[in-house]
Amino acid sequence: MSDVRPAAPRVASVAVTTPPYRHRQEGIAAVFAEAFLGADASVRRKFVGLAARSGIKYRHLSLPLGEYRKPRDLTAYNRTWVTTASQVGQQVLTRALQTAEVSPGEVGAIVTTTTTGASVPSFDAGLVQQVGLPRHVIRMPLFGLGCAGGAAGLARVHDYLRGHPDQVAVLVSVELCSLNFQCAGTSVDNLVATGLFGDGGARRAPRRRPGAAGRRTGADRHPQLPAPGHRTSDGHAPGDRGDSRSSWPRTSRTPRRNTCPARCPGCLADRAVEEVRQAERDARRAARRPVGGRNLDH
Confidence (pLDDT) at 9: 77
Reported pTM: 0.67
Catalytic residue chosen out of the listed positions 147, 177, 183, 260 = 147
Each residue's pLDDT expressed in tens, for the chain with a length of 298 residues: 555 566 677 888 889 999 999 999 999 999 998 888 767 888 888 889 989 999 999 999 999 998 988 888 889 999 999 999 999 999 999 999 999 999 999 999 999 999 999 999 999 999 999 999 999 999 999 999 988 999 999 999 989 998 898 899 999 999 999 998 888 888 888 888 889 999 999 877 766 554 433 333 333 333 333 433 333 333 333 333 333 333 333 333 333 333 334 444 445 455 555 666 676 677 667 666 655 544 444 4
Confidence (pLDDT) at 143: 95
Confidence (pLDDT) at 288: 66
Contact 130, 85 (CB under 8 A): no
Confidence (pLDDT) at 147: 86
Q: How many residues does the chain have?
A: 298
Known catalytic residue at 177: no
To 10 degrees, the CA torsion angle through 97, 238, 58, 274? 120
Contact 101, 86 (CB under 8 A): no
Q: What share of the chain is helix, strand, coil (3-state, %, to 5)?
A: 40, 20, 40
